[in-house]
Structure 1
Amino acid sequence: MFIQPIPMWWGSNDNWAYLVVDDESRDALIIDPANPEEVIPVLIAAVQSNKLNLVAVINTHYHWDHAGGNEEIVTPNLTLSEARTVKESRKLQVMDSICFFFQDGDQKAVFTGDTLFIGGCGRFFEGTAEEMHVALNKHLASLPDDTVVFPGHEYTRSNAKFAISVLQSYPVQQLLGFSDANPVTQHNVFMRLDDPDIQRATGETDPVSVMEKLREMKNEYK
């Protein structure tokens, strides 16, 4: 499985689209290709140079900056090897959010849209703190440790700065330097709700209350 990240609106929304290719069949799909002006040239080059067969467009959720480019790309059936959906991660930032987990041999990847970011999580526009807690800390946290996370936005630096304001720890400090030496759960304060230091920072002990307070703090963080 080959994965090519495609940056969109860099410097403003900082979105990611992803081209995912099955090595054997050369079938490919594109995830969240919201800005056709930036995505289509990459697709054309990839199809022409690597003889790919684009068979599907899929979206993590309906927001325009993820699904806005669908009408400009034709979408036949998905035939990528060993693809499955983490269905339990629905009802997150918005009520139809989906995270996609792919495995090809030993290679594992999860595409998380606006649910899970590197070092952070999405706002609760329609979902609740409890639903986000279950999605992050029950379902996504249960994926294999060597699963690579591909989020819908590049918010790593701002998430790391917020995390350091909440929790002074070595893994979190490494995140600010964009190190990938530790599992994502060590970097992400939203996935460490039982940590005594995080509970002290939020003034809460119940995991759902900690999640809700952390999100409020992040919303107000400058």
Structure 2
Amino acid sequence: MHIHSIPMWTGKGNNYAYVVSDSKTKEAVVIDPANPPEVLPVLKEQTDSGKIKLTSIINTHHHHDHAGGNSEILKHYPLPVIGGKDCAHVTNTPAHNSTFTIGDSIKVRALHTPCHTQDSICYFFEDGDERAVFTGDTLFIGGCGRFFEGTPEEMDKALNQILGSLPDDTKVYPGHEYTKGNVKFAIQVSQDDAIKRLHKFAEENKETQGKTTIGDEKEFNVFMRLNDPTIQKATGASEPLQVMAKLREMKNAA
């Protein structure tokens, strides 16, 4: 499995699109190709050179900065669109926990994680011992998305039950580069060693996608530590869903 990151709107939205390909067959998908002027040249170079055979577009949710490039991409690559029910030009919305394959060796499991949007889907990729999850705006490195269409209960389920149950060595590929902002907030909540480690990591890495794991997130992501007494004290709440709600309120105001 080969993962190629495409930064988009750097310095503004700080988005990521991803091209994921099967190393043997070269079959590939492009995830959240929201800004065609930045994505199409990469796709053209890789398809023209035979590095990849593009088979589908995947969207994590319907927001314009994730699915808004579909129309233009489809003009050049008329392919199926796999994504949530509200994504532009979607042709297939996979059921929760359903699977599909890319090439000979990549197995993908669709994980429904409604909250940021009700059509949010994360995609868990496995290829032998390699594991990666593409989390859109549900899970960021050290943070999570705003609850635009959902509740604290839904985000708790998404992060701590669904994504949190993935193997600890699963690498995390979010939809945005928000790590520095997330760690700035986390330090206000806790100054323990895990968050200090995240701070050092964020300072040393301009791009953090694919460099941390689900196991790391359980250690330093405050939204995945709802039972931690330090986090509870900072929020003034003890019940996990109240802690989640308060953390999001605090982060929104930060």
- Secondary structure, counterpart of 1:194 in structure 2: coil
From 167, 172, 176, the counterpart of 2:199? 176
Q: Secondary structure at the match of 1:136?
A: helix
Cα distance, 1:51 vs structure 2: 3.2
Residue 163 of structure 2 is matched in structure 1 by 140
Alignment counterpart, residue 239 of structure 2, candidates 200, 206, 216: 206
Secondary structure in structure 1 of the residue aligned to 2:201: coil
CA RMSD, aligned part only? 1.5
How many residue pairs align between the two structures? 219
- Once the two structures are TM-superposed, the CA of residue 50 in structure 1 deviates from its matched residue by 4.2
The alpha-carbon deviation at position 79 of structure 1 amounts to: 4.5
Q: Which moved more, 1:71-80 or 1:191-200?
A: 71-80
Is contact 1:82-1:103 (8 Å) kept? Answer: yes
Farther-moved stretch of structure 1 (75-84 vs 183-192): 75-84
Residue 84 of structure 2 corresponds to which residue in structure 1? Answer: none
SS at structure 2 position matched to 1:93: coil
Shift of residue 49 of structure 1?
3.1
**Structure 1: 5+ residue runs without aligned partners?**
none
Match of 2:123 in 1: 100
**How far apart, in 2, do the equivalents of 1:197 and 1:36 lie?**
44
Look up the SS of the partner of 2:116 in the other structure.
coil
SS at match of 1:19: strand
Distance (whole Å) between structure 2 residues aligned to residue 16 and residue 9 of structure 1: 9
Aligned AA (1:191): M
Q: How far apart, CA to CA, are the structure 2 residues paired with 1:187 and 1:130?
A: 20
CA–CA separation in structure 1 for the residues paired with 2:50 and 2:240: 47
Where does residue 216 of structure 1 map in the other structure?
249
Q: Which residue is 1:86 aligned to?
A: 111
1:167 to 190, 199, 203: 190
Counterpart selection for 2:136 from 91, 107, 113:
113
How high is the TM-score relative to the length of structure 1?
0.95
- How far apart, CA to CA, are the structure 1 residues paired with 2:49 and 2:192? 45
Task: Tell me if 1:75 matches 2:79.
Answer: yes
Match of 1:129 among 149, 152, 165: 152
The percent identity for this pair of structures is: 57
Q: Which amino acid in the other structure matches residue 30 of structure 2? A: I
Amino acid at match of 1:208: L
What amino acid does structure 2 have at the position aligned with 1:47? Answer: T
Which stretch shows the higher mean deviation, 44-53 or 95-104?
Answer: 44-53
Amino acid aligned to 1:75: L
Contact 1:166 1:201 in 2 (8 A): yes
Once the 2 structures are TM-superposed, how far is the Cα of residue 103 of structure 1 from its aligned partner?
0.2
TM-score with structure 2 setting the length: 0.83
Contact 1:27 1:79 in 2 (8 A): no
Greater shift after overlay, 101-110 or 71-80?
Answer: 71-80
Letter in 2 for 1:117: F
- SS of structure 1 residue aligned to 2:49: helix
Report deviation, 1:183.
1.4
More displaced stretch, 76-85 vs 156-165 = 76-85
Say whether the 8 Å CA contact 1:29–1:57 is kept in structure 2.
yes
Q: Distance in 1 between matches of 2:20 and 2:201?
A: 23
SS at match of 2:3: strand
Query: Which of 127, 148, 156 is residue 179 of structure 2 equivalent to?
Result: 156
Q: Secondary structure at the match of 2:134?
A: strand
Looking at structure 1, the residues matched to 56 and 252 of structure 2 have their Cα atoms a distance apart, in angstroms, of: 35
